[in-house]
A and B are shown apart, each in its own frame.
Chain A
Amino acid sequence: MEPGSEDLLVRFQAGDAAAFDQLVSEMAPRLKGYFLRQGAQNATAEDLTQLVFVRVFQARKRYQPSGRLDAYLLRIAHNLWIDSRRRKRFLTGGDDLPDAVDPAPGPEADAVAGDRAAVLHAALERLPADTRELLELAVLQRLPYQEVAEILDIPVGTVKSRVYYSLRKLREHLPALEPESDHDGPSDGTLS
């Protein structure tokens, strides 16, 4: 999926059926994570993830490699997520209601239990939607700023400055989510 690596979709176009399976196995968990962190529940996230691959499959003959393949899939995911929210707002009469609540404990519950990853994800969940998506693409999915700028339709310089301010905002949320024991020691905001 990194630049220079052989494009799996090109191989699939050439008749290598295993390339598509490989693409699914590599990208499905990342796409599901993307949808989950955007606010989708588990079933919706899996459904939308499958829909990304359906779209890719249907457009396989028109595909022309330009840029990274994971950016291509995440762009489709971004558009599907926007459509999904729009359809939901239409069906609920303009209210942006969340999906049905998942019975599993959320990141905040895990954070209380002391899980560092859950703390980070809970802090991420508290961020506004646009900030969250920016960090998702630029930090968690490790897309280059250029690809993020194209997906979000903003200038590259803006992506860079927004990543900076978004990380600062994420850091502001962390102390409130840290377990009690971590607050006892000196904290200068350094997380590493």
Chain B
Amino acid sequence: MERFPEAPAPEAGPEWDELRALGEELQQHGAAVPVSADFAESLRGRLEERPWELRTALRERPLLRAAAALLVVSTIGAPVSALVLMLRPSPEPDPVLSWEQVLPPPEVVEEHRPELHVVPPQVPGFEQAFDADWEASLAQSNRTAVMQAQWYLAHADAAERTASTAPALLDWTQATEAQLIAEFERRALLGLTKPLPASLLERIEAQLALMPLADQAPALQAWHWILHGEGPPPVPQLFR
């Protein structure tokens, strides 16, 4: 679109007169253009055409009527159905969702008691295959397994409460001897004897050596048996 100058046109002047004359000449040559001969007749035909009306169209066209009915039903049907379902009393009470803890029956718990993973000290055909240290280590491992099984039998009902999974004593060099023994027992119960440093084991053994066998705590008796194979083997009553 071409922009017109912003300045207002002059009110009067010779140029205005010339332009006005040009405009008048333009007017003289006429704004009218003759219409065709059948213009009036054609126009009359268009005027007589009935304008499209929904009511008339519905009355005269069955297909349009069916489409309109379908449209109305589908438009109104959904909200009306929802309203009816909302107002109608439900034939069944609403389900109550709850959670019930299911515990395994006692016989299942019984079946899942730990097995004793005791390796026989002598395997037929391999009697001389391993050295004495290995056999001593194997015997100690077996005694640990027996002790753990006994401990489990004693504490089966409250195993989770008894066995602490807290980290091991951090700075054992600063601990008292009683703390060391308790820590050793705790680690043993958790099956953590292997990572014990050699110096710690030495201190524990020294502590155990100072105590008469009868005065040792029942658990320490068990560990004495584990470490050295001395004393009575542990029984479940030892841990109670």
Residues of A at under 8 Å CB distance from B? 21, 24-25, 28-30, 32-34, 36, 45-46, 49-50, 53-54, 57-58, 116-117, 120-121, 124, 128-131, 135-136, 139-142, 157-158, 160-168, 170-171, 189-192
Contact between B25 and A191, CB atoms less than 8 A apart: yes
Residues of B at under 8 Å CB distance from A? 1-2, 4-5, 7-10, 15-16, 18-27, 29-36, 39-40, 42-43, 46-47, 51
Task: Knowing A46-B36, A53-B43 are in contact, say whether A130-B8 is a contact too (CB < 8 A).
Answer: no
A25 to B42 CA separation, bound complex (whole angstroms): 13
Task: Knowing A121-B29, A160-B9, A164-B9 are in contact, say whether A170-B35 is a contact too (CB < 8 A).
Answer: no
Contact between B47 and A167, CB atoms less than 8 A apart: no
10 smallest beta-carbon distances between A and B, as pairs: A164-B9, A192-B21, A29-B32, A117-B29, A161-B9, A167-B19, A140-B31, A33-B33, A128-B2, A191-B22
Task: Knowing A32-B35, A128-B1 are in contact, say whether A191-B29 is a contact too (CB < 8 A).
Answer: no
Contact between A50 and B31, CB atoms less than 8 A apart: no
A28 to B23 CA separation, bound complex (whole angstroms): 22
Contact between A171 and B19, CB atoms less than 8 A apart: yes
Residue of B nearest to A50 (CB): B43
Contact between B39 and A30, CB atoms less than 8 A apart: no
A171 to B7 CA separation, bound complex (whole angstroms): 19
With a cutoff of 8 Å between Cβ atoms, the chain B residues found around residue A142 in the complex are: 27, 31
| Residue among B9, B20, B51 having the largest count of chain A Cβ atoms under 10 Å | B9
With a cutoff of 8 Å between Cβ atoms, the chain B residues found around residue A192 in the complex are: 18, 21-22, 24-25
Contact between B26 and A124, CB atoms less than 8 A apart: yes
With a cutoff of 8 Å between Cβ atoms, the chain B residues found around residue A158 in the complex are: 4
Contact between A50 and B46, CB atoms less than 8 A apart: yes
Give the total number of A-B pairs whose CB atoms are below 8 A apart: 108
Contact between A116 and B18, CB atoms less than 8 A apart: no
Contact between B22 and A33, CB atoms less than 8 A apart: no
Residue of B nearest to A138 (CB): B23
| Residue among B2, B33, B42 having the largest count of chain A Cβ atoms under 10 Å | B33
* Sample of 5 more A-B contacts, CB < 8 Å, known A120-B29, A131-B4: A24-B40, A25-B40, A45-B33, A54-B47, A163-B9
With a cutoff of 8 Å between Cβ atoms, the chain B residues found around residue A141 in the complex are: 31
A21 to B46 CA separation, bound complex (whole angstroms): 14
Tell me how far the C-beta of B104 lies from the nearest C-beta in chain A, rounded to whole angstroms: 75
A120 to B30 CA separation, bound complex (whole angstroms): 11
Task: Knowing A24-B40, A24-B43, A50-B43 are in contact, say whether A168-B19 is a contact too (CB < 8 A).
Answer: yes
A130 to B2 CA separation, bound complex (whole angstroms): 8
Contact between A28 and B35, CB atoms less than 8 A apart: yes
Contact between B27 and A140, CB atoms less than 8 A apart: yes
Contact between B8 and A190, CB atoms less than 8 A apart: no
Residue of A nearest to B9 (CB): A164
Residue of A nearest to B24 (CB): A192
A22 to B123 CA separation, bound complex (whole angstroms): 129
16 contacts between A and B (CB under 8 A): A28-B39, A29-B33, A29-B34, A32-B32, A32-B34, A57-B47, A117-B30, A135-B26, A136-B31, A139-B26, A168-B15, A170-B22, A171-B22, A191-B18, A192-B21, A192-B22
With a cutoff of 8 Å between Cβ atoms, the chain A residues found around residue B47 in the complex are: 53-54, 57
With a cutoff of 8 Å between Cβ atoms, the chain B residues found around residue A50 in the complex are: 39, 42-43, 46
Tell me how far the C-beta of A57 lies from the nearest C-beta in chain B, rounded to whole angstroms: 5
A121 to B15 CA separation, bound complex (whole angstroms): 21
Tell me how far the C-beta of A107 lies from the nearest C-beta in chain B, rounded to whole angstroms: 11
Contact between A30 and B32, CB atoms less than 8 A apart: yes
Contact between A164 and B29, CB atoms less than 8 A apart: no
Residue of A nearest to B6 (CB): A161
Residue of B nearest to A115 (CB): B29
A66 to B117 CA separation, bound complex (whole angstroms): 111
